[in-house]
A and B are shown apart, each in its own frame.
Chain A
Amino acid sequence: MSFDPYEHIEAYVENTLSGIDRQRFEDALESDPGLHIAIENLPKAKKLARSIIELETRKHLRAARPGTSWWIWLAAMAAMFVLTLGYFALHPGKAATPEQVFAALYIPPATVAMRSGSEPANVLDSAIHLFDAGQYANSELLVRRILDSDPSDARALRYLGHLALQKKDYLLATTAFQHVFALHREPLASEATYLLCMIDIIRGDLELARDRHRYLVNSAHQPGEDKMALLANYLR
């Protein structure tokens, strides 16, 4: 039977692997660089796997909730329909389209002033300068060049998110801002959360938007009070 080192990785890390299996594992370690990566990432994988029960339970909670008698749901839906009709009859044109949400909530990065005649100091400065000048395609080329050499450059990721928003590519913007958030660098992480919240509202995922909003409420780097009030309004 062939020896699969991945079956024994935990025992090796816990130092409970002995005899021939230990020898085989160490031989595999010499020839398989992926095994080193696996050892390094094992605690994180275990932590993530341990939390899957939480994901499963939340799924069960969602499934259990609409279990109220079907006629209550039907009545609720009918009432909601009538109320919605009434609301739009009384407030024509008040339904928020994605464009309106974007126009109301989007905060572009502050323009970076440069002295006339001065040259941008580095690639990112050039990208920002192009962004500020509205030359988004050229700016994105530079931002991507930075990210090719350092995928964790928080400022480049931030601008990639803003560039994606300019062309309404919400998927790319979400990915970029999620990366920014994951780097935990304030105030960029809070800004990313705010913009992700806006994207969730545009996409109609209010549950996720509320989760992000909760984070934002506790952040020391909130956008202005007016924007927070608007955000809360959309989440109501």
Chain B
Amino acid sequence: MSPEEIIYGIRGAEKERAAVVKYLCRDGQLWSSIRQYVKGHAGSEEDARMVFDDTIVQFIKSVFSNPTFQLQGPLNAYLMGIAKHLWYAESRKSMQRMDTFPLEDADVANDDPPALTLMWHGERKALLLRILGQIGRNCREVLMYWANGYSMEEITQRMSYQSEGMTRKKKSICLKELIALIHQNPHLKSALE
């Protein structure tokens, strides 16, 4: 898979994104680089697995939500950049690991921080899963495209709907449903602050 195919696939339909994730997930070179980096900075095997997964999630998220996304260099170098940022951010949470970061690594991590916006961790994960489990799969998908800036035309194509009018109607019903769920769950509001 070329980097162009990967980017195109991520912005396509779910089936294409699944293929990209599978491809990245089986990239042995990427896994060993991330594993070596995390373990070299006081992390465990489990930490390395977490950073590997989060790197793929963050990458997919960035490409998915940015229609003008362009890769400036090799894909693996970009992914390693994300992994370093993630591990640096994780290590900042537990200060005891900070002394294992050489200054240059910390500098790299501060130079060009990507928007690390992963939400599906810990308590929040369980809460959000519970809420989103209450709306249908198609609804989730339509809202996901809409919230990430896709046009009605693009959503219609990806969802294989008959018309943009149908997509607009579907989005409206789903949004109403989601808003009602948020309103009925006051504790969710604070989790989304």
Contact = CB atoms under 8 A, between A and B. Distances in A.
Interface of A: 4, 6-7, 9, 37-38, 41-42, 44-58, 60-61, 63-65, 67, 151-152, 174, 178-179, 181-184, 192-193, 196, 208, 210-212, 214-215, 217-218
B22 A54 contact: no
A49 B178 contact: yes
A6 to B, nearest CB: 4
Contacts, number: 150
A56 B186 CA distance: 25
Contact of A208 (B126, B168, B187): B126
Contacts of A53: 60-61, 64-65, 144, 148
Size class of B's contact patch?
Answer: 35 or more
B94 A218 contact: yes
A212 B123 contact: yes
A67 B22 contact: yes
B128 A51 contact: yes
Given A49-B146, A57-B57, A217-B94, A178 B127 contact: yes
Nearest to B174: A49
B22 A64 contact: yes
B182 A48 contact: yes
B143 interface: yes
A61 B56 contact: yes
A182 B169 contact: no
B122 interface: yes
B126 A178 contact: yes
Contact of B128 (A38, A48, A211): A48
5 contacts: A41-B179, A45-B143, A48-B178, A48-B182, A61-B21
A214 B172 CA distance: 38
